[in-house]
Amino acid sequence: MAKQHVLFDERFLDTWVGPNILHSPRTAVIELIANAWDAGATRVDIVWPDGSRDAMFSIKDNGEGMTQEQFSHRWRTLAYDRLREQGQTVEIAARKKNPPRTVYGQNGVGRFAGFCFADKCFVETWREGTCTTHSVTRGQKQPIVIEKVKEVKRRSSGTRVYVEEPSAIGVTADDVRADIGMRFLTDPNFKVYLDGRQVSLLHIPDEHIRRFDLDIDDVGTIEVIAIDTLLADRTTVRHGVAWHVNGRLVGECSWKGTGDQDLIDGRRSAAKRYTLIVTADCLAAAVKADWSGFNEDCQQYQQVADAVYEKVQEFFLEVSKSDRNRTFKQAKKANVGALSRMSMRGADKWKRFVQETQVKCPTLQQKDLIQLSTVLANLEVAESRYGLLHKLGDLESGQLDDLHQILEDWTLDMAKTVLDEIRTRLELLDELKRKVSDERTDEVQELQPLFKQGLWIFGPEFETIEFTSNEGMTKVINDLFKPTTRVKGSRNRPDFAILPDGTAGLYTHPKYDPETHAEVGVARLVVVELKKPGVTVSTDEKAQCWKYIKELYSRGLLLNDSRVICFALGSKVDPLEAEVREEKSGTVRIQPLDYGTIIERAKSRMHKLYDRVKDAPFLDKKEKEELDDFLTSANVKDEAKQAKMFKATA
């Protein structure tokens, strides 16, 4: 079978490269200049078509150029990854002593900008003594067609892209000079000439430029120039603060302040629109030897930087007012529900907080500010108000990181469900510890309700919600023992059987017919027999369990294959009767346990959580009980009564 080649629609290049590069001369020339920057050039010469019949377009740089192999690889690779292939920096070809330059390009689409001027352009590039010229044409079935035109000997290095018969441009040379000046004046060592005239600040229209003079004590006057492109670019590339000392760029043009401080959030439109040039020849002594930055421990540099960055912040507060208003409206829209439930005072407090945060935290991302405003709005209408903030204020940085990680992994509703269940179980365990150690505890009124909630203590198989108390079985056992005492307890707890020396709760799991799915009897029965605190579980107590289980069988309340387990619990267990008693070939098991073992088993089931969080506020019953005792004491009652009488007579 013959091989088939991939075909490309004629719209492919427009879709992949983007319409601006291929159809906007302003954008195209900026992309081609950026390529010269990425090639380490220090000079770019542009010939702009003036509309005459013999006009041409040309852009030439003195960068590193390309060999035949490099050109072939880079131009024939459509999705060429510049950063992976060549790295993030480039050596400046004409000034090897300068620090490497950070490049702009990433995906290699800027090289197709020549197609904005014609469907056929020429790329002339020289390096290592050889100069090659290729024609590059937009194809129909293929995105581009490359053909080698000639090869000659040539010294030095560089690249020239030119078009012999450019199409109508509709953009004047002065317009292009203004666009270039607004983006490529950050580095004085990078010079751009258009039709023989160097592009400078003079070519930038007045409405795009503002000047500030900062008078700094013991230093002198520092000039700051703010350049406004009016329309935000796609990225912050070619934008930021550029420091000029003695006609050279120090470090890189960026929005980085001193240390790790950012002057402005790079995602904001203002960061992609403005460039500030700071001329500070007075800081020559503070420049690092490789011109990669300033020595930040220099006192004079710190003094100047503080003044400059303060001015930068002040400038952005002024020019970003519309951005802040737009963000505030979005925050207001996102919280309209909570704001409608606030008082006027609360809404005003929320408004002032959001607006002050915008001013004091200019690097805060827009989405983070909206989220913060939502938190504040919810706190304002929540019952707990700002108690959460007080709790957050008590946390150390590491604990805040842990809290952030929890909220990353869990939703609040999910975390609350889990923590509520843990809290319920820990509170039950705490209550059990106190009750079983007190011989005054009433097992009917106090212990059985706790064990009814705590079947999980006995094992994971008793976690299911289908285990419910069986009042019918309870009545059978009550009839069997005919209790003559504690009738009141029996009436109050009809789902507990009252025994001579304790009480029993019966909890069943139903059995279903596999075909009709109807309930046909009892699959599992769990009996929790509690002896009074102080009673020892021995032979008689185990026999008593078997006695009323037999009664349930005789009444037809249990099936032959029903599985029954009875936990006989007391303060102590006779060591000679500690083993499990089995009846009916092991389908009935009677397990004696002391309360201490039960508590330890519960702790183990909670993975020892109780011991780790025993000081949790919700387990501090003693303080609450002392408060209750105080409030219900006679003295307090008398004082409250006297206060009430005083108020009535006042």
Q: Residues 392-426: pLDDT tens digits?
A: 667 777 777 777 777 677 666 666 666 767 777 77
Q: Provide the 8-state DSSP code for 190.
A: S
Q: What is the DSSP string of 336-383?
A: HHHHHTS-HHHHHHHHHHHHHHHHH-TTS-HHHHHHHHHHHHHHHHST
Q: Does residue 6 lie within any of the structural domains?
A: no
Phi, psi torsion values for 499, nearest 5 degrees: -105, 165
**For position 621, what pLDDT does the model report?**
53
Do 344 and 439 lie in a common domain?
no
The CA–CA distances, whole Å, from 565 to 34, 71, 461 equal 82, 83, 12
Q: Does residue 199 lie within any of the structural domains?
A: no
How many other CB atoms are there within 10 angstroms of residue 86's CB atom? 17
Q: Does residue 186 lie within any of the structural domains?
A: no
**For position 258, what pLDDT does the model report?**
78
Do 112 and 77 lie in a common domain?
yes
Do 487 and 628 lie in a common domain?
no
Q: Which domain holds residue 378?
A: 330-351+364-409
Paired with 255 in beta bridges are none
- The number of angstroms, rounded, from the C-alpha of 600 to the middle of its chain's C-alpha atoms is 40
Identify the three-state secondary structure at position 119: coil
Paired with 254 in beta bridges are 241
Q: Does residue 416 lie within any of the structural domains?
A: no
**For position 644, what pLDDT does the model report?**
44
End-to-end CA distance of the chain: 109
Cα–Cα distance between 470 and 507 in angstroms, integer? 6
Looking up tokens 């890189």, which residue turns up?
Answer: 252
Q: Does residue 297 lie within any of the structural domains?
A: yes
Cα–Cα distance between 557 and 388 in angstroms, integer? 54
Q: Does residue 628 lie within any of the structural domains?
A: yes
In this prediction, the residues of the chain whose per-residue pLDDT falls under 50 are 465, 484-493, 623-624, 626-628, 630-650
Do 518 and 645 lie in a common domain?
no
Do 156 and 20 lie in a common domain?
yes
- Give the domain CATH number at 230: 3.30.230
Cα–Cα distance between 596 and 603 in angstroms, integer? 11
Do 553 and 603 lie in a common domain?
yes
- Give the domain CATH number at 152: 3.30.565.10
Do 337 and 276 lie in a common domain?
no
Paired with 227 in beta bridges are 209, 275
Q: Residues 328-373: pLDDT tens digits?
A: 888 888 888 888 887 787 788 888 888 888 877 777 777 888 888 8
pTM exceeding 0.75: no
Do 229 and 271 lie in a common domain?
yes
Identify the three-state secondary structure at position 22: helix
Q: Does residue 138 lie within any of the structural domains?
A: yes
Among 181, 197, 225, the domain boundary falls at 181
Do 289 and 382 lie in a common domain?
no
Cα–Cα distance between 321 and 88 in angstroms, integer? 35
- Three state DSSP letters for 222-274: EEEEEEECCCCCCCCCCCEEEEEECCEEEEEEECECCCCCECCCCCCHHHHCE
The closest alpha carbon to 153, from 168, 134, 138, 132, belongs to 132
Extract the runs of DSSP E, i.e. beta strands, from 14-117: 43-47, 57-61, 89-90, 101-102
Cα–Cα distance between 83 and 105 in angstroms, integer? 8
Do 82 and 221 lie in a common domain?
no
**For position 614, what pLDDT does the model report?**
58
- Structural domains counted in the chain: 5
Do 113 and 164 lie in a common domain?
yes
Q: Does residue 325 lie within any of the structural domains?
A: no
Do 71 and 151 lie in a common domain?
yes
